[in-house]
Amino acid sequence: MPKVSQRKLIIHSSNVAAMAMLVESDSEDNSDLEEFYYYSLHLLQKRYLKPRHSAARLDPRYDMLALQELPDSSFLQLFRMRFPCFLNLLQLLQPNPIFYNNSHNPQRELPIQLAIAICRLGSNGNGSAVYRLRNLFQVGYGTINLYTCRVITAVYEFRSSMITWPTEAERLELSQVMQEEGFPGCVGFVDGTTIPLSQKPPKDGSHYWDRKKRYSISVTLICDVNKKFISYLAGYPGSCHDAYVFSNMKVAQQPQQYFDRNQFLLADSAYSSDQYVIPAYKGKELLVRDNVNFNYYLAQSRVRIEHAIGILKGRFSSLREIRTQLRSRSEGKAAVKWIISCLILHNLLADLKDQWNELYEDEIPDPPPEINDDNNATDGLRGRMQHITLAHFE
């Protein structure tokens, strides 16, 4: 049922009172009726009961000055990066036409739009983030969503230049770095993670139910020794196994285009061992002492991808739960763009040496247990690399 405005209620009450007075009055004095008439006429001539005022809004120039004058710790907490990096990102996005209108009603300055969007990406929980931003920047809920969508769209356009597979020369350099850790030929580390959803998707919702008993989107990421992401695949339902998502990446389907001879990725035991992926041993293979030792050294190097994912979700806490229903294909694409935009910003800030300090548990794996078994089973590339790695640490 439509809601009746307070103005209409008052006009209706005034008319009812005038009619009652007209029926009940025995005198010829109509002064009271005239007052009701002029009162009703006054209300009808006014669209609103009270004068309308523009919403309180900080001057845009003062907004930017206020951002600049924030203490470094406060700016980092709010906007997930230091002010010089914010200026670099601002310069990168400045030419994008999405931030300019061909009308007499220009958009708010880009620094403020960017600050609001970055704060939103870095906040875990849509309600609290939007409420805080509304009070801080004096903008409405819809405006906050609009600014966020604009910034995500602009950042997303840099995906092909900011998330790139290393060139032949860069892979050789990565391989040489990893040779010092006993893994010559390693050019990256692969792992999967899930991005939780706040609600069950209405279509095929059970497919998004993951092993951690929540609805989520699956993402497979590959990073280099500097914890920069060099490849990704996002959008599969959370129930999909990490190895299955990886098998659908071009890196896995066309490895000859991404690896030179004897180059590979390190992975955990969820992945299959082949010519280009060396996973940790699992199951009965761990009854062999050398396999356990190899897992220990592999984990020390492979922990970089765990750190990279931790930094990503720590800096951009919105990835700890995306508040969307995935009611349509467009909403699904928007969620994936949100995720990829955070990956792009992660790499940009890594290039700018903007460190994000996170505490990691189990950063160094426990030493391997003593196993009295000298028998060792080797298999292909992993077996050959195991001999090299164990010899390196002897």
Residue 51 resides in a domain: no
Closest listed residue to residue 234, CA positions, set 304, 317, 319, 356: 319
| Listed residues 107, 130, 157: the one ending a domain | 157
User: Same domain, yes or no, for 151 and 185?
Assistant: no
Residue 232 resides in a domain: yes
User: Same domain, yes or no, for 302 and 201?
Assistant: yes
User: Same domain, yes or no, for 213 and 360?
Assistant: yes
> What does each C-alpha distance from 73 to 69, 70, 185 come to in angstroms?
11, 8, 40
Domain count, the chain: 3
- Cβ atoms of 292 and 286 closer than 8 Å: yes
Question: Phi, psi at residue 55, to the nearest 5°?
Answer: -65, 145
- Residue 37's identity, in one-letter code, is Y
- Cβ atoms of 158 and 369 closer than 8 Å: no
- Residue 132's identity, in one-letter code, is R
- By CB atoms closer than 10 A (0-12, 13-18, 19+), residue 267 is buried
Query: CA angle, corner 207, sides to 317 and 157, nearest 5?
Result: 45
Closest listed residue to residue 42, CA positions, set 71, 14, 66, 61: 14
pLDDT in tens, 173-226: 999 999 999 999 999 999 999 999 989 999 889 999 999 999 999 999 999 999
Query: CA angle, corner 250, sides to 218 and 381, nearest 5?
Result: 95
Residue 214 resides in a domain: yes
26: domain range?
Answer: 6-45
| pLDDT at residue 59, rounded to an integer | 47
Give me the residues of the chain with pLDDT under 70, please.
1-3, 22, 25-30, 32-33, 36, 51-63, 125-129, 358-379
User: Same domain, yes or no, for 221 and 358?
Assistant: yes
User: Same domain, yes or no, for 135 and 255?
Assistant: no
Residue 64 resides in a domain: yes
Residue 53 resides in a domain: no
C-alpha 258 chain-centroid distance: 27
| Listed residues 141, 157, 173: the one ending a domain | 157
| pLDDT at residue 233, rounded to an integer | 98
| Listed residues 138, 157, 176: the one ending a domain | 157
| pLDDT at residue 367, rounded to an integer | 55
User: Same domain, yes or no, for 213 and 352?
Assistant: yes
| pLDDT at residue 192, rounded to an integer | 96
User: Same domain, yes or no, for 71 and 20?
Assistant: no
User: Same domain, yes or no, for 257 and 184?
Assistant: yes
| pLDDT at residue 221, rounded to an integer | 98
Residue 259 resides in a domain: yes
User: Same domain, yes or no, for 303 and 241?
Assistant: yes
CA dist 184 and 173 (Å) reads: 10
CA dist 328 and 332 (Å) reads: 6
User: Same domain, yes or no, for 244 and 345?
Assistant: yes
- Cβ atoms of 213 and 328 closer than 8 Å: no
Residue 152 resides in a domain: yes
User: Same domain, yes or no, for 103 and 177?
Assistant: no
User: Same domain, yes or no, for 309 and 349?
Assistant: yes
| pLDDT at residue 48, rounded to an integer | 73
- Cβ atoms of 270 and 242 closer than 8 Å: yes
Residue 55 resides in a domain: no
| pLDDT at residue 14, rounded to an integer | 75
| pLDDT at residue 13, rounded to an integer | 80
